[in-house]
């Protein structure tokens, strides 16, 4: 078996060809990949059966088995996802600014690919095709390390995609799947400074923490969201109820779902009994602070640990706070700086919230669920960055690029 380093070097060698590929070449490759994935669906499904059998034998939790399972519809969805990426504009070659210096040097700041992107993820096979498509469109080669639970599915998908690339102008090593899906292989990959330009972990908090702690390669940290919605005394309470229900219940398992509701003490009595009843009816468990429990005795008592918990589930913690100051102070202490919202009709407090809350996305009168590449209009995303360096918020095609300064002179010396 080739080493992790040898496999990553294949992608490194392919990267310069990707970097100078034109938009037509890249789009033709993407469409060929999508077609091949649909045509190769039987092989992919056969491989997936092997993974599913192993998962059942190893007693994998049902929710994880759901994410691992492929069927014709899901494979068709993956192909469709690739075609959508083909339709997006090319992020490469765009000159963001250009200027002339007094000495006559003409400087242009141009978008170029990062080079080689490393993806470390878990048991969702669709991440394999999504990542490959986004990386190719942005002119990058990709090294994929999917979880061992999905190894047969991933191998079948990558073989199909590489076979498709072989018939195009792009090198098949634009997509490299590590042969070895072990943790040891992932650790080796994280040390490939100079070969892999950036690592993007996709998965649970444990995976992301381990990558941040171990990696020598720069990392884009994605995905942890302890998101708050603060219902201010100035709120339209009907709007607040709709936003709260949506932020918590429309898809509780994702990072932009609300985990904690903060309510101004001045509207707690008017808002909380109604809100808790609606949440209970929608199937949500509610854990409240003492003041919440006094108004809604049918809630469970929250503990200190609840304020820092990303449930990713139909559970919500509620805290009554002393107005905007109380909300800002709670958020400063417990936010993961992903997405935070205020519901209010008060102009001054809305502006203070937007100005003072430190998060990738700050909202007035809207659900935190909108923090998403598609909803922002980016077309596609590879995750939501919660770090401040390089990319903050949805990581779309543009965030998979860097810049190069192109400087034209006529003999200038310094």
Backbone angles phi, psi at 286, to 5 degrees: -120, 125
Of 153 and 371, the one with the shorter C-beta distance to a copy of itself is 371
Under the criterion CB under 8 A, does residue 356 sit at the interface with a copy of itself? yes
Q: How far is CA 36 from the centre of its chain?
A: 26
Ranges within 233-262 binding a copy of itself (CB under 8 A) = 236, 239, 242-243, 245-247, 250
C-alpha to C-alpha distance for 328 and 30, rounded to whole angstroms: 45
Task: Pick the binder of a copy of itself from 22, 42, 89, 409 (CB under 8 A).
Answer: 409
Task: Tell the smallest beta-carbon distance from residue 130 to a copy of itself (Å).
Answer: 20
DSSP 338: S
Under the criterion CB under 8 A, does residue 282 sit at the interface with a copy of itself? no
Of 121 and 363, the one with the shorter C-beta distance to a copy of itself is 363
Task: Tell the smallest beta-carbon distance from residue 406 to a copy of itself (Å).
Answer: 5
Give burial (CB, 10 Å; 0-12/13-18/19+) of 280: middle
Structure-block tokens of residue 388 = 């401040």
Alpha helices in 58-119 (DSSP H): 62-68, 72-87
Task: Tell the smallest beta-carbon distance from residue 231 to a copy of itself (Å).
Answer: 13
Of 73 and 414, the one with the shorter C-beta distance to a copy of itself is 414
Ranges within 180-219 binding a copy of itself (CB under 8 A) = 193, 197-198, 212-213, 216, 218-219
Under the criterion CB under 8 A, does residue 411 sit at the interface with a copy of itself? yes
- Whether the CB-CB separation of 129 and 165 falls below 8 Å is answered with no
Own/partner long-range contacts of 404-412 (Cβ < 8 Å, ≥24 apart): 404/109, 404/110, 404/112, 405/107, 405/108, 405/109, 405/110, 406/107, 406/108, 406/110, 407/105, 407/106, 407/107, 407/108, 408/105, 408/106, 409/104, 409/105, 409/106, 410/104, 412/103, 412/104, 412/105
Task: Tell the smallest beta-carbon distance from residue 251 to a copy of itself (Å).
Answer: 8
End-to-end alpha-carbon separation of the chain, Å? 52
| Helix (H/G/I), strand (E/B), else coil: 181 | coil
Per the DSSP assignment, residues forming a β-bridge with 157 are none
- Whether the CB-CB separation of 113 and 121 falls below 8 Å is answered with no
Under the criterion CB under 8 A, does residue 230 sit at the interface with a copy of itself? no
Stretch that binds a copy of itself, among 12-20, 222-230, 266-274, 298-306 (CB under 8 A): 12-20
Of 114 and 157, the one with the shorter C-beta distance to a copy of itself is 114
C-alpha to C-alpha distance for 322 and 166, rounded to whole angstroms: 63
- Whether the CB-CB separation of 107 and 413 falls below 8 Å is answered with no
Task: Tell the smallest beta-carbon distance from residue 126 to a copy of itself (Å).
Answer: 21
Contacts with a copy of itself: how many residues (CB under 8 A)? 67
Task: Tell the smallest beta-carbon distance from residue 213 to a copy of itself (Å).
Answer: 6
Q: How far is CA 88 from the centre of its chain?
A: 18
Helices 265-281, 237-249: inter-axial angle, 10-degree rounding = 50
Of 64 and 270, the one with the shorter C-beta distance to a copy of itself is 270
Task: Tell the smallest beta-carbon distance from residue 227 to a copy of itself (Å).
Answer: 13
| Helix (H/G/I), strand (E/B), else coil: 86 | helix
Task: Pick the binder of a copy of itself from 49, 56, 98, 105 (CB under 8 A).
Answer: 105
Task: Pick the binder of a copy of itself from 1, 59, 305, 414 (CB under 8 A).
Answer: 414
Under the criterion CB under 8 A, does residue 376 sit at the interface with a copy of itself? yes
Of 52 and 343, the one with the shorter C-beta distance to a copy of itself is 343
Task: Tell the smallest beta-carbon distance from residue 42 to a copy of itself (Å).
Answer: 36
Binding site for a copy of itself (CB under 8 A): 16, 19-20, 99, 101, 105, 107, 112, 114-115, 193, 197-198, 212-213, 216, 218-220, 236, 239, 242-243, 245-247, 250, 332, 350, 354-356, 358-367, 369-371, 375-377, 387-390, 392-393, 402-414
């Amino acid at each position: 078996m080739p080493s992790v380093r040898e496999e990553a070097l294949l992608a490194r060698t392919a990267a310069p060809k990707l970097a100078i590929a034109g938009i037509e070449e890249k789009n033709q490759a993407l469409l060929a990949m999508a077609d091949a994935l649909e045509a190769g669906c039987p092989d992919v499904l056969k491989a997936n059966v092997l993974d599913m059998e192993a998962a059942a034998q190893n007693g994998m939790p049902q929710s994880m088995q759901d994410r691992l399972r492929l069927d014709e519809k899901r494979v068709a969805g993956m192909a469709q996802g690739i075609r959508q990426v083909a339709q997006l504009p090319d992020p490469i070659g765009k000159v963001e600014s250009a200027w002339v210096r007094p000495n006559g040097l003409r400087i242009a700041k141009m978008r170029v690919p990062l080079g080689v992107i490393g993806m470390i993820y878990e048991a969702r096979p669709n991440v394999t095709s999504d990542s490959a498509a986004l990386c190719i469109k942005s002119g990058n080669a990709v090294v994929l390390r999917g979880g061992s639970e999905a190894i047969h599915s991933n191998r079948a998908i990558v073989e199909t995609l590489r076979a498709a690339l072989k018939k195009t102008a792009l090198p098949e090593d634009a997509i490299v799947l590590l042969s070895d899906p072990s943790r040891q292989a992932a650790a080796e990959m994280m040390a490939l400074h100079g070969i892999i330009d950036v690592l993007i972990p996709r998965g649970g908090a444990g995976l992301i923490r381990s990558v941040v702690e171990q990696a020598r390669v720069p990392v884009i940290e994605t995905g942890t969201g302890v998101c708050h919605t603060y219902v201010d005394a100035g709120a339209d309470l009907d709007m607040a109820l709709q936003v709260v229900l949506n932020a918590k219940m429309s898809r509780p398992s994702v990072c932009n779902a609300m985990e904690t509701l903060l309510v101004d003490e001045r509207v707690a009595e008017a808002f909380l009994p109604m809100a808790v009843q609606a949440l209970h009816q929608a199937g949500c468990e509610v854990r409240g602070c003492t003041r919440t429990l006094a108004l809604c005795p049918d809630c469970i008592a929250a503990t200190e640990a609840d304020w820092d918990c990303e449930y990713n589930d139909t559970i919500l913690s509620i805290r009554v706070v002393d107005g905007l100051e109380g909300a800002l102070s709670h958020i400063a202490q417990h936010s993961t700086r992903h997405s935070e919202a205020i519901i209010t009709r008060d102009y001054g407090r809305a502006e203070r919230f937007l100005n003072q809350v430190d998060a990738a996305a700050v909202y007035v009168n809207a659900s935190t669920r909108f923090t998403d590449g598609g909803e922002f209009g980016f077309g596609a995303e590879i995750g939501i960055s919660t770090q401040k360096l390089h990319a903050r918020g949805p990581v779309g095609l543009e965030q998979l690029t860097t810049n190069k300064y192109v400087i034209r002179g006529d003999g200038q010396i310094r």
